[in-house]
Amino acid sequence: MTDSAADIRPFRPQLAAVTLAGSMAVAFGVLLSGFVMSEPAPYELYMAGLITIWALFGLRISRRIAPLLALLITFNIGGMLSLTVMEDLDAGPMYVAVSAFLALTSVFYAAIIEERHERLALIFRAWVAAAVITAMLGILGYFGLIPGGAAFTRYDRAMGAFQDPNVFGPFLVPPSLFLIRGLLTDRLSRAPLKVAGLLITTLGIFLSFSRAAWGLYALCVVALVLIMVIKERSGAFRLKVLMLTLSGFLGLIVTLGIALETPQVSAMLSQRTQLVQSYDGGHLGRFERHRIGFLMAMEKPLGIGPMEFSKIFPEDEHNIWLKSLTSYGWLGFLCYFTLIIWSVSMGFRFLLLDRPWQPYLMIAWISLVGHTCIGFVIDTDHWRHFYMLLGILWGTAALEYRHRARLARNQRR
């Protein structure tokens, strides 16, 4: 675990070329995260190779990222211990292996961001590109505008190049926030492309008909605008925020109004806007399973094993806190709880500082808080972009700690 010994490094063309190639390789990996139609997905295979190569040529885990690594390792140890109580291992070992791999990607993102904060811009631009492409696939497939479009839908809901609409929708939220922030801060001459991208991702979120994604999007947009208004206190900026927010809201209303002209969309919206669905309430519905599951987990310190819950009840846990108890035991639950509290509180401390990486930290923090909220009604432990958000947040926090350490050294000198 090392830090840079010098603040200023001599320019080396070979090193610069390698650094650029590495950053572009990371951006391509982020782009692949929007295409997960089977497992292992191209994202897993590519990132496994990329992390291995990076580790061989000098991946550095600083003491600032070490807590993230320790918590995620211990969390997955809990998952391994839960395998010992399973009578039939079945797919359990593979589930834990995927969890461990995704944890490794989180640490990887944090480490490379701490090394060079400029990579954040590439990561988010690649995420926007992935979101726009996969959202377009979902939209075109939903309306039957491309051959084989049914492959990008499920249960009459758009899911893009994903396996589940409930993952597809939340995946589109952080890049949408990035586009919204760009509209609020960049010159208006750059607005058309951002508006087009935002309309596509927003329509994709809507057509996913995921109530969790809708709630996540609404919560995150409100939080983003509020935090930006608090940080940028000039009257001109606040007027711009107000005008663009009203324009965006009207544009959204028009877009959704056009979409609702389709009977298919109107019927699905009527169904999905019901507060409690048939699988939520009733005997062994979602909320009843939560109650019974938590009571059962209190008697199972090691959990019951990955994917065992759905063998006892009609469906999976659909609650990340219950999931951490059943699939990772008490140890895993404690680590996950500590990780979320630590991440949220750490990000909050640095939220309004004037730094080059502050916009990315802000988007990652808002999105992580939102994902934590929807985790009460959905499982997020194998969402690739959730681990990416964790890595971005810890990487930007590590940048802040390193910046403060550098200032302290300069003051002592």
The residues spanned by each domain of the chain are: 60-115+287-413, 127-279
The pLDDT of residue 1 is 43
The pLDDT of residue 287 is 78
Mean pLDDT of 48-55: 93
The pLDDT of residue 5 is 41
Mean pLDDT of 272-285: 58
The pLDDT of residue 51 is 95
> Percent of the chain at pLDDT above 70?
91
For residue 279, pLDDT beyond 60: no
3-state class of 159 per DSSP? coil
Q: Flag the least confident range among 45-49, 93-97, 273-277.
A: 273-277
The pLDDT of residue 274 is 61
Mean pLDDT of 164-183: 94
At 111, list the tokens: 């480490």
Q: Residue 280: pLDDT band by 50, 70, 90 thresholds? A: low
Q: Flag the least confident range among 108-117, 311-320, 324-333, 372-381.
A: 311-320
Helices 119-142 and 358-374, packing angle to 10 deg = 50
Mean pLDDT of 225-240: 83
Mean pLDDT of 199-209: 92
For residue 367, pLDDT beyond 50: yes
Q: Is 368 exposed, middle or buried (0-12, 13-18, 19+ CB in 10 A)?
A: buried
The angle formed by the CA atoms of residues 220, 223 and 227, to the nearest 5 degrees, is 140
Which amino acid, one-letter code, is at 65?
I
Q: How far apart are CA 413 and CA 403, in angstroms?
A: 16
Q: Residue 155: pLDDT band by 50, 70, 90 thresholds? A: confident
At 226, list the tokens: 């509020």
Beta bridge pairs of residue 158? 153
Q: How far apart are CA 203 and CA 84, in angstroms?
A: 45
Q: Between these two residues, 272 and 148, which has the higher pLDDT value? A: 148
Q: How far apart are CA 274 and CA 64, in angstroms?
A: 45
Q: Which residues contact 162 (CB under 8 A, 6 or more apart)?
A: 36, 37, 134, 168, 171
Q: Are 158 and 141 in contact (CB under 8 A)?
A: yes
Q: Is 380 exposed, middle or buried (0-12, 13-18, 19+ CB in 10 A)?
A: buried
Distances (CA, A) of 232 to 13, 87, 183: 38, 58, 15
382-402 confidence digits (pLDDT tens): 899 999 999 999 999 999 999
Beta bridge pairs of residue 153? 158
Please name which of 234, 230, 210 lies closest in space to residue 157, comparing C-alpha atoms: 210
Q: Flag the least confident range among 133-142, 164-173, 283-292.
A: 283-292
Q: How far apart are CA 215 and CA 221, in angstroms?
A: 10
Average pLDDT, the chain: 88
Q: How far apart are CA 24 and CA 314, in angstroms?
A: 44
* CA 19 to mean position of chain CA atoms: 25
pTM, two decimal places: 0.90
Q: How far apart are CA 374 and CA 319, in angstroms?
A: 8
The pLDDT of residue 14 is 60
* CA 292 to mean position of chain CA atoms: 29
Q: Residue 273: pLDDT band by 50, 70, 90 thresholds? A: low
The pLDDT of residue 165 is 93
For residue 330, pLDDT beyond 90: yes
The pLDDT of residue 412 is 83
The pLDDT of residue 284 is 60
At 351, list the tokens: 């939220």
Q: How far apart are CA 309 and CA 409, in angstroms?
A: 53
